[in-house]
A and B are shown apart, each in its own frame.
Chain A
Amino acid sequence: MRGDLKLIATLINPGARVLDLGCGEGELLDHLQRDKRVNGYGLDRDEENIRTCVRKGVNVIEQDLDQGLSNFVDASFDMVVMTDALQAVKAPRELVRDMLRIGEECIVTFPNFAHWRCRAQLALSGVMPVSKQLPHNWFDTPNIHLCTFTDFEQLCAAESINIIQRRVVNANHQEKKFINWAPNFFGTYAFYRLGKSS
């Protein structure tokens, strides 16, 4: 299983109610259903992903995250997860609000646009950064709301969202000591565990 998903799996209690926004091939939910007997649902739009999830027995719902989550009732999940999709949705702030409305806690992961490679590409070549994590050209990228860790934390502060935990990893989803010297410079992905303001 992908490193970031492993990390997430450790934070989910057995029997929890889990909603995975942009669940892909259902890797996380499949694991959680078998190992922790969670009551999990995944939202996705890609037809191949949906078929793969169905074949695995993962509860996948075809739903566009840009339509919001208004069909989900308040406090109906223990954990709402969104990995690597924040930067691709139309209204990230509203979506994060909605995630905390329906979930007790949330996990959000996204790539850091202030990683030194991105900074270097923009500074030195004067072009929009393209990397393994952000492989698209500026004109065809689905990533319309790229941000940095600092940006995201400012949003959390403005929204009074409680950052319970932050973990910053490299491109291989590994935690390294040096990253934490300057996470917004060395970190490739961040993983935020969020809760309602207390």
Chain B
Amino acid sequence: MSRSRENSVGLIDPQLYHHSQPFLLQNGDVLHGYELVFETYGTLNAEKSNAILICHALSGHHHAAGFHAADDAKPGWWDACIGPGKCIDTDQFFVLSLNNLGGCHGSTGPNSIDPMTGEIFGPSFPNVVVKDWVASQSHLADHLGIQKFAAVIGGSLGGMQAMQWSIDFPARLYSAVLIASAAKLSAQNIAFNEIARQAITTDEDYCAGNYRQFNKNPENGLMLARMVGHVTYLSEDGMKTKFDRDIKSGDFEQGANVEFQVESYLHYQGRAFTQYFDANTYLLMTRALDYFDPAREFDGDLTRALRKTKAKFLVLSFSTDWRFSPERSQEIVDALIRARKNVASAIIESEHGHDSFLLPLDRYTKVLRAFLQRSLEEFESSPKQLGIKNEGGA
């Protein structure tokens, strides 16, 4: 993996933010304090005007770039785009990436101890939603002294967080980048999430969510959930290019023991997932996806939901993404235009389906880089933008 170490942010130590105050959630539950694990790349300038927040997707976490140890086989999940000279250029920007509340990579989540009972939360961890994530992220920003981000960026579920930021904290971000995202999931999209959830909850080892207590893990269910997910993140053409009908093992001549490459891939990905991802977190994250719909409190009118936003938007989608299709992005763009907001959009040609947003595709990284450069220049050239006094509350 020596190539990927070029233009890398290098060795990174995760940090921990401890929020000691009670935190009221959207569903009325209260978390009695919480912790968020996060990483930063690049240097925050004196004016604190060059901060970018990265919001992660369903199975993401804080480790977006660089390495935790010199012998790590793989860098962070978005290393292709974050680093010195890359499109999210750490020579210019201070990049903040965290693991969301309810996650399973070090932030308070279903595997944490509930301070009220002294036992792990397990299935009783409250249903957090995108709005809760954004509120908790704003506390982390306060902690780091960041009054206003130059950009909040996210792909998929991460794009939903970036949109929620623009709605809930209009004065705290100069621009928002929504990549392969949607203003709400379609019925088809919710259906795939429900299949994934059923796979997990009907696994014998799920134990009504208390699998940790019984030293079990609903591996089969989690694996199945991930396999379904993976299929929907790829395109038919992409799968054909990657696997076609290639045989991994066995022989048609000798009978039935044929394993296709695509099967082997899904088994491997699914199995690997069970080793680093928590089933309760998966359920929680998919529900957050399903429930997201900022237009709900505005009679379903997204334009009204976006009316008070102040950010400049960049909305990107990918031609073969059918899980978060270009049409879903177009709905966001149309609503932003109706709300008279600044927005640019591009539909990137790619055969990699929804997964495209993780890849350093030439056109994608160029337009993202251009947008971020422009945002930084505009933000820094406007003294009013930088001042805290003129900010106006969220």
Residues of A at the B interface (CB closer than 8 Å) are: 17, 39, 41, 47, 50-51, 53-62, 71-73, 76
Contact code string B330-347 (vs A, CB < 8 Å = 1, else 0): 100110011010111111
Mark each residue of chain B from 312 to 332: 1 if its CB lies under 8 Å from any CB of chain A, else 0: 101000000000000000100
Which chain B residues lie closer than 8 Å to A51 at the CB level? Answer: 363, 366-367, 370
Asked if B370 and A54 sit within 8 Å, CB to CB, the answer is yes
Interface residues, chain B, with chain A CB atoms under 8 Å away = 312, 314, 330, 333-334, 337-338, 340, 342-347, 363, 366-367, 370-371, 373-374, 378
Known: A47-B363, A71-B334. Is A62-B374 also a contact (CB below 8 A)? Answer: no
Known interface pairs A41-B337, A57-B378; A62-B345 also in contact (CB < 8 Å): yes
CB distance from B334 to the nearest CB of A (A): 5
Measured in the bound complex, the distance between the Cα atoms of B312 and A41 in whole Å is 13
Contact of A61 among B340, B344, B370 (CB under 8 A): B344
Residue of A62, A71, A72 touching B347 (CB-CB under 8 A): A62
Nearest B residue to A33, CB-CB: B342
Query: Across the interface, do A62 and B346 meet the contact criterion of CB distance under 8 Å?
Result: yes
How far, in whole Å, are A109 and B363 apart by their CA atoms in the complex? 31
- Say whether B346 contacts A17, CB under 8 Å: no
Q: Return B276 CB to nearest CB of chain A, in Å.
A: 36
Contacts of A73 in B (CB 8 A): 338
Instruction: Compute how far the CA of A72 lies from the CA of B330 in the bound complex, rounded to whole angstroms.
Output: 11
Query: Pick the contact of B340 from A39, A50, A71 — CB < 8 Å?
Result: A39
Contacts A47-B346, A57-B312, A57-B378 known; list 4 others, CB within 8 Å: A39-B340, A51-B367, A60-B344, A72-B334
Q: Cβ of A50: which chain B residues have Cβ within 8 Å of it? A: 344, 346, 367
* Nearest CB in chain A to that of B340: its residue: A39
Q: Which 3 A-B pairs have the closest CB atoms?
A: A55-B370, A54-B370, A62-B346
Query: How far does the Cβ of A186 sit from chain B's closest Cβ, in whole Å?
Result: 40
Of B333, B334, B337, B371, which is within 8 A of A54 by CB? B371
What's the minimum C-beta distance from B176 to chain A, rounded to whole angstroms? Answer: 14
In the complex the two chains form, what is the Cα distance from A76 to B335 in whole Å?
A: 12
Task: Give which listed residue, A47, A58, A61, A62, contacts B337 with CB less than 8 A.
Answer: A61
Chain A CB within 10 Å — which of B338, B343, B345, B374 has the most? B345
